[in-house]
């Protein structure tokens, strides 16, 4: 059986995704690309350092799922889905299953090994990329980096400008407008890594992720027609995109869409590589912090600059207390991760 492997590298940290399914490693290479220097490696190099192995095998998934549900386990939310977890970091092994996505996990953080098995190639590929990112996050945190809840762009001189604010404040809107209208490179749309450098500056690295862009913003940036043509030509956006958004794009309907009862806008989900291929916005692999922006969006108000002063606070840092999507359930971070296992308990 042929083994495929993609190694990710950023700031001296590396992790490798290994799978017999080429679609899985292709997904990782596409997702991280130049942001985290994704590169194919030979099979004999695949086992060095931290490794995420991923397999598509329904029988193995069933066996793994049964072993978790028959043991005492706990329920937690991870990446907007429920995980059932058993084990503890202290034992050296954590096992988990996500019934909705039909994915099973085995984490051995002490050995730098994380195993994923599932029933569908796309689900396995998505999980492998997400967990490889978590492995690298843990290494970077131990190396002194911190994660900020911010969008960022970089100019031609390598100066990074970071946008802060709570959800809906306009971080992504500001970053994409600067990139699209002023020729800056996109460094990140939601989170960044930061660490003081040897001088007086602060280095900034990207947190690779898909970007959520509302239909109205997509239109305002001049990207709606481009996305429509691409979709009509058979290309796809990120699979987390709601089918109603896809239908609106195909139909040319620019009207914002909202989830019933929640008030949350449903948005296009753009792969990192599509920013440059589709919209002509290049990505940046790093920069030095040069400015902090705190945007605020208000309906019916003309763009303006405020003179008020705001500084960073605890809510701007993504750590154990503020992390809402990717809590450290697999024991990969060890720094700022909070309790590895938490949530609702269930007997065997």
Over the stretch 254-268, which tens digit does the pLDDT of each residue have? 999 999 877 889 999
pLDDT recorded at residue 185: 97
Q: Which long-range contacts (CB under 8 A, 24 or more apart) does 275-281 make?
A: 275/179, 275/186, 275/211, 278/223, 278/226, 278/227, 278/230, 279/180, 279/221, 279/223, 279/226, 281/176, 281/179, 281/180, 281/185, 281/186
* 169: exposed, middle or buried (Cβ count in 10 Å: 0-12, 13-18, 19+): middle
Domain-embedded: residue 330: no
Domain-embedded: residue 253: yes
Domain-embedded: residue 324: no
Asked if residue 157 and residue 121 are part of one domain, the reply reads no
CATH code for the domain of 298: 3.40.50.300
Asked if residue 133 and residue 231 are part of one domain, the reply reads no
Domain-embedded: residue 226: yes
For the chain, give the percent of residues with pLDDT over 70.
Answer: 94
Asked if residue 298 and residue 157 are part of one domain, the reply reads yes
Asked if residue 289 and residue 262 are part of one domain, the reply reads no
Asked if residue 159 and residue 96 are part of one domain, the reply reads no
Asked if residue 228 and residue 141 are part of one domain, the reply reads no
- CA atoms within 13 Å, Cβ hemisphere of 62: 3
d(CA 287, CA 156): 10
Q: Is the pTM of this model over 0.85?
A: yes
Asked if residue 108 and residue 77 are part of one domain, the reply reads yes
Over the stretch 54-70, which tens digit does the pLDDT of each residue have? 999 999 999 999 999 99
Domain-embedded: residue 322: no
pLDDT recorded at residue 325: 83
Backbone angles phi, psi at 133, to 5 degrees: -65, -40
- Residue 336 confidence (pLDDT) above 80: no
Asked if residue 124 and residue 50 are part of one domain, the reply reads yes
Number of domains in the chain: 3
pLDDT recorded at residue 35: 94
Strand order in the sheet with 39-40: 39-40, 4-10, 13-19, 50-56, 113-118, 103-108, 93-98, 81-88, 73-78, 344-346
Asked if residue 301 and residue 249 are part of one domain, the reply reads no
Cβ neighbours for 134, distance < 8 A, ≥ 6 positions apart:
326, 328, 330, 332, 333
Q: Please give the residue range of the domain that contains residue 252.
A: 222-267
Asked if residue 90 and residue 185 are part of one domain, the reply reads no
Asked if residue 171 and residue 36 are part of one domain, the reply reads no
Domain-embedded: residue 215: no
Domain-embedded: residue 44: yes
d(CA 295, CA 287): 21
Closest C-alpha to 157, from 195, 185, 180: 185
């Amino acid at each position: 059986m042929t083994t495929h492997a993609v190694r990710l590298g950023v700031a001296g940290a590396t992790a490798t995704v290994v799978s017999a399914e080429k679609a899985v490693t292709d997904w990782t290479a596409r997702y991280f690309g130049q942001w985290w220097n994704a590169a194919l490696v030979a099979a004999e190099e695949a086992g060095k350092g931290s490794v995420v192995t991923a397999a598509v095998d329904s029988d193995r998934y069933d066996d793994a799922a049964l072993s978790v549900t028959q043991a005492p386990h706990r329920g937690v939310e991870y990446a907007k889905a429920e995980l059932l977890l058993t084990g503890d970091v202290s034992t050296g092994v954590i096992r988990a299953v996500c019934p909705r996505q039909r994915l099973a996990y085995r984490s051995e953080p002490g050995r730098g090994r994380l195993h994923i098995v599932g029933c569908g190639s796309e689900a396995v590929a998505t999980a492998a990329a997400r967990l490889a990112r978590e492995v690298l996050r843990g290494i970077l945190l131990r190396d002194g980096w911190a994660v900020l809840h911010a969008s960022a762009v970089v100019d031609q001189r390598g100066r990074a400008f970071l946008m802060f604010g709570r959800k809906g404040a306009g971080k992504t809107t500001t970053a994409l407008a600067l990139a699209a209208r002023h020729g800056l490179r996109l460094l990140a749309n939601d989170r960044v890594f930061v660490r003081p450098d040897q001088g007086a500056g602060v280095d900034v690295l990207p947190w690779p992720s898909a970007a959520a862009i509302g239909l109205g913003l997509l239109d305002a940036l001049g990207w709606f027609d481009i996305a429509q043509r691409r979709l009509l030509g058979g290309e796809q956006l990120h699979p987390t995109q709601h089918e109603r958004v896809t239908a609106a794009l195909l139909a040319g309907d620019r009207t914002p869409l909202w989830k019933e009862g929640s008030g949350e806008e449903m948005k296009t989900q753009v792969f990192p590589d599509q920013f440059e291929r589709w919209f002509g916005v290049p990505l940046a692999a790093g920069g030095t912090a040069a400015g902090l922006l705190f945007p605020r969006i208000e309906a019916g108000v003309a763009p303006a600059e405020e003179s008020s002063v705001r500084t960073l606070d605890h809510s701007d840092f993504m750590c154990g207390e503020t992390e809402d999507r990717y809590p450290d359930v697999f024991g990969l971070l060890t720094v700022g991760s909070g309790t590895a296992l938490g949530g609702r308990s269930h007997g065997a």
